[in-house]
Chain A
Amino acid sequence: MSAMRVDAKVVMLGKESVGKTSLVERYVHHRFLVGPYQNTIGAAFVAKPIQVAEKVITLGIWDTAGSERYEAMSRIYYRGARAAIVCYDLTDSSSFQRAKFWVNELQNCEEHCKIYLCGTKNDLIEADRSLRQIDYHDAQDFAEEIGAQHFETSSKTGRNVATLITFFLLFSILKTRDCFFFVSSEEAGVDLGQKKDSFFYSCCHNN
């Protein structure tokens, strides 16, 4: 794969098998582990170009899945990230502890990195409420305490996946460009697969 210019780096963090990859898959390929064979070597890094008004922003999404046991490596991955999506599995309380660990790391080492706390596998909860191990409000409180956005997502149904990434985009663009209107956050959150990746409308732009 060739080198590609990346405008903003997003890193996916979280305990083994919380569903980091599914989340990326869902967002980038609009699918959930179905579909024909494709060469995935290089999928650990996904460059996703997104149309924002007349500009194209390339998101570099870093998935750390498969290498969680390489603890010493983590900083290499999140260094310089503009945003981190810290995932935990709604049905696994230990994964929430691990998420707290990552948040701590990021706050210590990457003060400019925006944190998104993301509870995964919401579809399992919807099917059987007794599976929930992490209370929504507890997670929400934690998110507020650390100044993070909090979402509960399902890569299977697509719930909130687009909203999550959209929030990230909004943030990163507001930081780098001048000013954008965020026009359709509610709609955008429903199902990315049916819509274009264009959520922003620019009101003024100098560059």
Chain B
Amino acid sequence: MPQTPPFPGQLNTGGFNNNVYPSTTESSPGLYYQDNNLVSGSLEALIHHLVPTVDYYPDRTYIFTFLLSSRLFIHPYELMSKVHHLCTEQQRLGDPQADKLRLKKITPKILQLLTEWTETFPYDFRDERMMRSLKELTQRLTGWDEVHKKAISQMSQGLIRRLTVLSQFEEALVKINATATERLTALKAKPQAATQRDLLSICNDPFTVAQQLTHIELERLSYIGPEEFVQAFVHKDPLDNEKNCFSDHKKANNLGAYVDWFNRLSYLVATEICMPVKKKHRARVMDFFIDVARECFNIGNFNSLMAIISGMNMSPVSRLRKTWNKVKTAKFDILEHQMDPSSNFYNYRTALRGAMQRSLTANSSREKIVVPFFSLLIKDIYFLNEGCSSRLPNGHVNFEKFWELAKQVSDFMTWKQVECPFEKDRKILQYLLTAPVFTEDALYLASYESEGPENNTEKDRCKSLRAFSLDFFKLFF
């Protein structure tokens, strides 16, 4: 899939040299700079700054940053219609008197802008109003120059392909969830079957399982649109609450699906550990997941690593003292140390930088893999948004905030483009994605069955859980 070259190097290098004041005379008033960096501006001026003219084209970092963050203030379709308007007005497109040479110069630039928009934020175009605007604008452009017809059709085809792939992914997710529910229902009807299936009976090689987990991570990651990070907190901004830009249900929620996957993996790990009746078997499952987690760490798949650690830390698992005694915990301690929340995940952040470095100098596609511990990425972005206001007291957009936001999101853009080099194993993938998992209560019950309650709190809890559910398997998800 042809993608606009990714953003690393543009935003990640520290100095934001790309935002220097444009050398042309076309720069709009109402933009404020500090040390050559754009720091704030009125929304109108920023929109002007996005639109190319005969001798000006915005730098790509700006385009990405503004398209990403402008949605906090203005719906993408409104922005598109303003861009449309500006292109038409300024360049007198559609005016038969227009200078042909001028059009020749400006048209490829407008096309370039639209191409970047459709490639980086394709989900914006699920809105018919966006599509309509795009069509109108491109029709105007082709109306005057046949040469650009090919470029426009390439752009449209690329966009349609991206949107189709997205719909297919959404359908696949629905199917996966339906299968998971079906398997759960089947299990409830015939609980005896439950003990016959577990991950180890499908694959007992931790390396393979780690690779399949990485498949799932990279696939889910790749569908998350950069704008989803902004959508996630848009309703919480009290200053810009007057109109909720994201009430339309066509927005993608692949970010939510990715969070669900993390929770699922944690619960799956806890389920696999709590289910076996024999202590020896439980210990074996723990050892196995520790090896899977370690391989995830080596691959650079920090998200699965953290999900496994979380699963093993869930109370129903952590309380299994006798089982833990049989497990070689030294390996696990090292992994926990790597992902220790202390000092805001200092150790993990160091390891992540290491993985990013390896990715930059990779000799193999395997070395390119960086799957971040996603909860922390969301949290960092959340705090970036909470910590400073989007508008300055004079009503101008606080663009410094958005450079920082774009920097965070552009790291993610780099990571999500990595192709997973491992061979897919359908059977394992299917199991990981659809195997029934216990609820918290069922985990506790299973845990008490394995190692009896030890104190009064546990005894009470156990009693009430048992009384509450005569049928143990009612407690599945």
| Interface residues of A, Cβ cutoff 8 Å to B | 1-4, 6, 17, 21, 25, 33-45, 47, 60, 62-63, 65-67, 69-73, 75-77, 79, 105, 107-109, 111
Whether B457 pairs with A107 at a CB distance below 8 angstroms is yes
Residues of B within 8 A of A2 (CB): 343, 346
Whether B379 pairs with A44 at a CB distance below 8 angstroms is yes
Binding-face segment, B180-188, B203-211, B310-318: B310-318
Measured CB to CB, the nearest residue on chain B to A111 is: B457
Q: Is the interface of A mostly helix, strand, loop or mixed?
A: loop
Alpha-carbon distance A45/B389, docked complex (angstroms): 20
Residues of A within 8 A of B383 (CB): 21, 40-44, 63, 65-66
Measured CB to CB, the nearest residue on chain A to B269 is: A72
Alpha-carbon distance A146/B313, docked complex (angstroms): 24
B283-334 interface (Cβ within 8 A of A): 306-307, 309-311, 313-315, 318
Residues of A within 8 A of B342 (CB): 3, 6, 60
Q: Tell which of B309, B386, B398 touches A65, judged by Cβ atoms closer than 8 Å.
A: B386
Residues of A within 8 A of B401 (CB): 37
CB-CB contacts of B41-73 with A at 8 A, as 1s and 0s? Answer: 000000000000000000000000000000000
Alpha-carbon distance A6/B306, docked complex (angstroms): 23
Whether A45 pairs with B313 at a CB distance below 8 angstroms is no
Residues of A within 8 A of B262 (CB): 70, 72-73
| Interface residues of B, Cβ cutoff 8 Å to A | 236, 256, 259, 262-263, 266-267, 306-307, 309-311, 313-315, 318, 339, 341-346, 375-376, 378-384, 386-389, 398, 400-401, 404, 408, 457-458, 461
Q: Tell which of B311, B375, B398 touches A67, judged by Cβ atoms closer than 8 Å.
A: B375
Residues of A within 8 A of B311 (CB): 72
Measured CB to CB, the nearest residue on chain B to A71 is: B263
Supplied contacts A37-B401, A60-B342, A73-B375, 20 more A-B pairs, CB within 8 Å = A1-B343, A1-B346, A2-B343, A6-B343, A37-B388, A38-B387, A38-B388, A40-B383, A41-B380, A42-B344, A43-B383, A44-B344, A45-B341, A67-B382, A72-B314, A73-B262, A73-B266, A75-B310, A76-B341, A79-B313
Residues of A within 8 A of B400 (CB): 37
Residues of B within 8 A of A47 (CB): 343
Residues of A within 8 A of B236 (CB): 17
Residues of A within 8 A of B310 (CB): 70, 72-73, 75-76
**A–B Cβ pairs within 8 angstroms, 14 of them:** A6-B342, A21-B386, A37-B398, A41-B380, A41-B408, A42-B380, A44-B376, A44-B379, A65-B382, A66-B382, A71-B263, A72-B311, A73-B266, A76-B339
Whether B378 pairs with A72 at a CB distance below 8 angstroms is no
Residues of A within 8 A of B384 (CB): 40-41
Q: Is the interface of B mostly helix, strand, loop or mixed?
A: helix
Whether A33 pairs with B386 at a CB distance below 8 angstroms is yes
Alpha-carbon distance A75/B266, docked complex (angstroms): 12
Measured CB to CB, the nearest residue on chain B to A43 is: B383
Contacts A4-B343, A72-B307; A108 near B315 (Cβ below 8 A): yes
Alpha-carbon distance A70/B137, docked complex (angstroms): 43
Q: Tell which of B256, B315, B387 touches A75, judged by Cβ atoms closer than 8 Å.
A: B315
Whether B388 pairs with A40 at a CB distance below 8 angstroms is yes
Looking at A25, A45, A66, A67, the one whose CB has the most chain B CB atoms below 10 A away is: A66
| Leading 10 A-B pairs by shortest Cβ distance | A66-B382, A40-B387, A72-B266, A45-B344, A66-B379, A43-B383, A3-B343, A40-B383, A72-B310, A70-B375
Residues of A within 8 A of B379 (CB): 44, 65-67
Whether B380 pairs with A44 at a CB distance below 8 angstroms is yes
Whether B263 pairs with A70 at a CB distance below 8 angstroms is yes
Whether A108 pairs with B457 at a CB distance below 8 angstroms is yes
Alpha-carbon distance A75/B263, docked complex (angstroms): 13
Residues of B within 8 A of A76 (CB): 309-310, 313, 339, 341
Alpha-carbon distance A77/B307, docked complex (angstroms): 13
Alpha-carbon distance A62/B383, docked complex (angstroms): 13
Contacts A37-B400, A67-B375, A108-B457; A62 near B314 (Cβ below 8 A): no
Residues of B within 8 A of A36 (CB): 388
Alpha-carbon distance A107/B315, docked complex (angstroms): 12
Residues of B within 8 A of A111 (CB): 457
Q: Tell which of A6, A17, A43 touches B387, judged by Cβ atoms closer than 8 Å.
A: A43
Q: Tell which of B256, B306, B314, B343 touches A45, judged by Cβ atoms closer than 8 Å.
A: B343
Measured CB to CB, the nearest residue on chain B to A40 is: B387
Whether A69 pairs with B259 at a CB distance below 8 angstroms is yes
Residues of A within 8 A of B386 (CB): 21, 25, 33, 40, 43, 65-66
Alpha-carbon distance A42/B346, docked complex (angstroms): 10
Measured CB to CB, the nearest residue on chain A to B336 is: A76
In the complex, what's the smallest C-beta–C-beta distance from B274 to chain A, in angstroms? 14
Looking at B311, B344, B380, the one whose CB has the most chain A CB atoms below 10 A away is: B344
Residues of A within 8 A of B313 (CB): 75-76, 79
Alpha-carbon distance A17/B233, docked complex (angstroms): 10
Measured CB to CB, the nearest residue on chain A to B318 is: A75
Residues of A within 8 A of B266 (CB): 72-73
